[in-house]
Chains A and B, each alone.
Chain A
């Protein structure tokens, strides 16, 4: 028996030693560690940033975000004009572009894309559902003017339209491929992008190769491979072991060690993300503006972003994140001032205000909700609030919060990522956006002045006027404090030292065209 063990041990040692060249990624092929398996590679059928990170490399939209900004620039459309009433957008399309399947990109293809999403009687509408189609709900009709000119008629002026077109929901897919694969198009994607889809092995990888004929210049990488690695510890281990070249969403705990290791490069970029507490302005202590402001003074946001989130976020000042740098807002976050908070509570005449605080256990963009919830609770209690936390699993949480906080809670955690400063306040802070009307104003905040500003800002087609209007929005909401303003997330990624030309975008998308290794 002893001899058997010794034999086995020696055999195992030899076997291990003979495979010493583990985990080398192949040259000129970039392997990306993703956080999950994509749901689909049909850009109109998905909602997750995780999926968008793949899709922007396979497809192009009519317009795209300029590098390092959230401003739009031409992509498949070379130029466009907007009518004076802001209701007609006419796009001149790039000529000679072909989809990966060989079919032509033209005005008919653009019309097909939007009709499929928006028209219930379209022959391929059943290849959905298309959860973010409401981004284009302002579109009344898409008309083909000629082979390379397409016109969008809007029901009413809608300034975020271009920005929504640059968002992944506006990526253009090949009609021929949809006709061929139907509901399975999401597994047989065909676009015009810098990389051409090659294979999808479920739960293991999605691979794409260089598009030699890319209209914007072929990428230098031969291929990219996206690997889903759901457990963040495993993702870190795989990065350290050399099995992947890039990993996104590095846990804050590991970021410091990657930063101090010269084998790796860390990229960080603030995104259009806001983490906040919805306050119930209809009833209870937060019906009084002074109590809401008191809560904002009472919570030490610096500690939250520096200690709990370990520097992976910055302190939020209002509903419009600084990533929209074209909005000229000078509003500063509420400072941490517990004395001021107590004073405001005294002025409001409330003693030991009791709060029920909804906390979620995790969810898209929620960062570290349980610890953050506990830290917020502690700070509020120090200032004189009595806070009871109720925590819920994410889907349950969304169900409870989205129907409104009335008679349930005084405060709820929430986070949003958007692509235009219009989206978040328009959907969550307007009087019209109460849950009863199908909106997300779960805290029942209402300010007619803000309502008017938001309507004006979304109808204006003058970017500098919009910048001015959103600065006012930021100021009013900051002062009225319908939320506890907490954090703006900085996304991060780690690459091996060999990876060149990699940058994170404020849009949270992952553009790999200019990357080499």
Chain B
């Protein structure tokens, strides 16, 4: 098992290396450069040249890349032009915020999705199944930024129950309770769409499992229905659902871009969008590398959990 995990971890390195080259190339191919982004309408060729010289962007592209990768290997991710601070500080701070948001959303959507999926499978075609299917469809179809704004208008503006945006209160906040309060709306919004997908898959997997022989055997043995469903059927169905949750983790991280913007959550998605529009190449590199690594790690974690649940896969 540990050899397998190590092998998977080592395989990340060439992926990240290749990715960094692609990001570098793409960023240098899109028109406009950081100096223009900094100078705006004052971007004369003369001013642009001066800024580029100050930022070290007047060197050939290949040389720029090797300078960058050489520094990265030594743990120096460079300085963001647009934010005027070390890339690593910014990326780690932002990533922490995204992880909190996406992590809570992932737990929420997994719990909601699994419960809803099991209920609708067990009560197939009953009113609960129909109601859940309806809600799931609505959740999947709704644009998340729109849902987010509606929630803000209801919970923050009309009822004044929850804060409208941000991660902590401006004054007197900063503790766990404050963080949780600020998390409720964005995490729920983010969870709704992903929960729908998980619910549908759980339902399908459960329906399939419930028709299998071992379930009939369990029932024939006289086990209580509750035990049949949760100890036998659900566990078997989970093996098929776990990798989907792994993929949803990636979706939740990606979907966080909109949610972070709407709720002004200081996460990495919103940071990347801004960094691309200001052509802040080192910040984009740093952000992409950390997001990509986390994707790979999530999928690896899902695989590991799956293997533990289903010994057959290990072979």
Contacts and interface: CB of A to CB of B under 8 A. Distances in A.
A364 B43 CA distance: 13
A40 B160 contact: no
Contacts of A31: 170
Nearest to B37: A395
Contacts of B40: 47-48, 363-364, 398
Contacts of A365: 41
A204 B162 contact: no
A461 B84 CA distance: 38
B156 A23 contact: yes
Contact of A414 (B33, B41, B164): B41
Interface residues on B, range: 35 or more
B303 interface: no
Contacts of A203: 93-94, 97, 266, 271
Interface stretch (A129-137, A309-317, A447-455): A129-137
Q: Is chain B's interface secondary structure helix, strand, loop, or mixed overall?
A: helix
A398 B43 contact: yes
B198 to A, nearest CB: 17
Contacts of A456: none
B50 A129 contact: yes
B42 A22 contact: no
A398 to B, nearest CB: 5
B266 A204 contact: yes
Contacts of B83: 37, 39-40
Contact of B163 (A23, A37, A42, A399): A23
A29 B171 CA distance: 10
Nearest to B171: A26
Interface stretch (A70-78, A190-198, A231-239, A488-496): A231-239
Contact of B156 (A26, A40, A184, A241): A241
A233 B149 contact: yes
B79 A183 contact: yes
A359 interface: no
Nearest to B267: A203
A228 B43 CA distance: 26
Interface string A121-148: 0000010110110100000000000000
Interface in A376-427: 393-396, 398-400, 402-403, 414-416
A240 interface: yes
Contacts of A16: 161-162
B152 A237 contact: yes
Nearest to B44: A438
Given A234-B164, A398-B32, A399-B36, A202 B54 contact: no
Interface string B29-49: 011110011111111111100
Contacts of B41: 364-365, 398, 414-416, 440
Interface string A334-370: 0000000000000000000000000000011100000
A241 B264 CA distance: 15
A225 interface: yes
A139 to B, nearest CB: 16
Contacts of A126: 54
A1 B39 CA distance: 60
Nearest to A395: B32
Interface in A226-270: 227-231, 233-234, 237-238, 240-243
Contact of B84 (A45, A227, A398, A439): A45
A402 B157 CA distance: 44
Contacts of A225: 170-171
A99 B171 CA distance: 27
Top 8 closest A-B pairs, CB basis? A395-B32, A203-B266, A129-B54, A396-B31, A241-B156, A438-B46, A40-B84, A241-B164
Interface of A: 1, 16-17, 19-20, 22-23, 25-26, 29, 31, 37, 39-40, 42, 45, 47-48, 126, 128-129, 131-132, 134, 183-184, 186-187, 202-205, 225, 227-231, 233-234, 237-238, 240-243, 363-365, 393-396, 398-400, 402-403, 414-416, 435, 438-440
Given A40-B84, A238-B165, 9 more contacts: A1-B115, A16-B162, A26-B171, A48-B40, A129-B51, A229-B264, A394-B277, A395-B33, A395-B37
Interface of B: 30-33, 36-47, 50-51, 54-55, 79, 82-85, 89-90, 93-94, 97, 115, 119, 149, 152-153, 156-157, 160-168, 170-172, 181, 261-264, 266, 270-271, 274, 277-279
20 contacts: A20-B160, A22-B163, A22-B181, A26-B171, A131-B47, A131-B51, A134-B42, A186-B85, A202-B89, A202-B90, A203-B266, A204-B168, A230-B261, A231-B262, A234-B164, A234-B264, A363-B40, A395-B32, A396-B30, A440-B44
